[in-house]
Amino acid sequence: MPAKIIDGKAFAATVRAQVADHVAKLEGDHGITPGLAVVLVGEDPASQVYVRSKGKQTVEVGMKSVEHKLAADTSEADLLKVIDDLNNNTEIHGILVQLPLPKHLDEDLVINSIAPEKDVDGFHISNVGLLGTGQKSMVPCTPLGCLMMLRDHHGSLSGMDAVVIGRSNIVGKPMAQLLLGDSCTVTIAHSRTKDLPDVVRRADIVVAAVGRPEMVPGDWIKPGATVIDVGINRLDAPEKGEGKTKLVGDVRYESCAAVAGAITPVPGGVGPMTIACLLANTVTACCRANGLPEPEGLTA
């Protein structure tokens, strides 16, 4: 039987609708509008696209969107001042500093200067610690989106064998923590893992977050397993015409889909969920800041 395609685009639309409902309720019942500030340093074209998209979707769900676009040579002190002002701004409930930052800026220092309760990317060391100890935190958006799709597909994940390929701080590690939190037996694989195909073959859930185009073939996948492909890799696509490109994930879609029980496509899988979860985190942060009940189903 062909794998069920987990439609991240449709799921993200549902999440955005839930966020919009909650935003309208906050506005109507309490006169509060959640606010998200995005800080962009420099002119990286991909970052500019992301920031534009985040701003557009923030406004579409009824939230306030603020963008700070700073020059590439902005000093650390000036950037920290912008963040400090946002930390103290009661109309702003979420702050996101678009990564990567120019080389002269210390990314860890900058991220850890965001007030943890406004850290809607979930990268602040306090949120990392809270997640690792199973406490209420801000959860990184991409792994949160993966978890939501897995819960939606499976209901309970308890007792399932999960393999996360990749151990980055923004995807692999928090993904593993979330799966552990849902009582999976979790293996984190990385570039030094021995016998990776055998490790992956044991998994009921495979999350690929490697950054290597189509690295995982179908014969690594246990029949019926769920495959979540986080990878976003742009490849030349001369077959589509001169200078054309295409996006592929970290798994070989056709061969994995032939074996898996369910799979996320690229594009249209994990990608759209990431911004939807950013909006979800912002509304959650706003509720927490105001001592109001959090929206159900939008947090880990």
Using CB under 6 A, list all residues that contact ligand NDP.
142, 165-168, 170-172, 189-193, 196, 209-212, 230-233, 250, 270-271, 274
Select which of 18, 54, 57, 119 is catalytic: 54
Q: Which is nearer to ligand NDP, 10 or 24 (CB)?
A: 10
Provide, rounded to whole angstroms, the least separation between the CB of residue 195 and ligand NDP.
11
φ and ψ at 225, to 5 degrees?
Answer: -70, 160
Report whether 114 contacts 272 (CB < 8 A). no
33 burial via Cβ count (<10 Å: 0-12, 13-18, 19+): middle
Residue 204 is a catalytic residue: no
Q: Is 145 helix (H, G, I), strand (E, B) or coil?
A: helix
Kindly give, in sequence order, each residue whose CB lies less than 8 Å from that of residue 112, ignoring residues fewer than 6 positions away: 124, 125
Q: Which is nearer to ligand NDP, 124 or 167 (CB)?
A: 167
Torsion angle of C-alpha atoms 143, 144, 146, 150, degrees rounded to 10: 130
CA distance linking residue 50 with residue 43, whole number of Å: 12
Q: By beta-carbon distance, which residue lies closest to ligand NDP?
A: 168
Residue 121 is a catalytic residue: yes
DSSP 13-34: HHHHHHHHHHHHHHHHHH----
Provide, rounded to whole angstroms, the least separation between the CB of residue 169 and ligand NDP.
8
Q: Which is nearer to ligand NDP, 25 or 202 (CB)?
A: 202
Q: Which is nearer to ligand NDP, 116 or 272 (CB)?
A: 272
Select which of 18, 118, 121, 229 is catalytic: 121
In the chain, which residue ranges form alpha helices assigned H by DSSP?
Answer: 8-30, 45-60, 76-87, 107-111, 125-132, 141-154, 172-181, 196-201, 253-257, 270-289
CA distance linking residue 245 with residue 254, whole number of Å: 19
| Peptide bond just before 223 cis, omega within 30 deg | no
Provide, rounded to whole angstroms, the least separation between the CB of residue 189 and ligand NDP.
6
Quote the DSSP letter at residue 116: G
Provide, rounded to whole angstroms, the least separation between the CB of residue 292 and ligand NDP.
28
Q: Which is nearer to ligand NDP, 25 or 151 (CB)?
A: 151
Q: Which is nearer to ligand NDP, 2 or 197 (CB)?
A: 197
Provide, rounded to whole angstroms, the least separation between the CB of residue 211 and ligand NDP.
3
Residue 54 is a catalytic residue: yes
Select which of 98, 177, 182, 229 is catalytic: 98
Record the tokens describing residue 13, joined without a space. 């639309």
Provide, rounded to whole angstroms, the least separation between the CB of residue 83 and ligand NDP.
22
List residues with catalytic annotation: 54, 98, 121
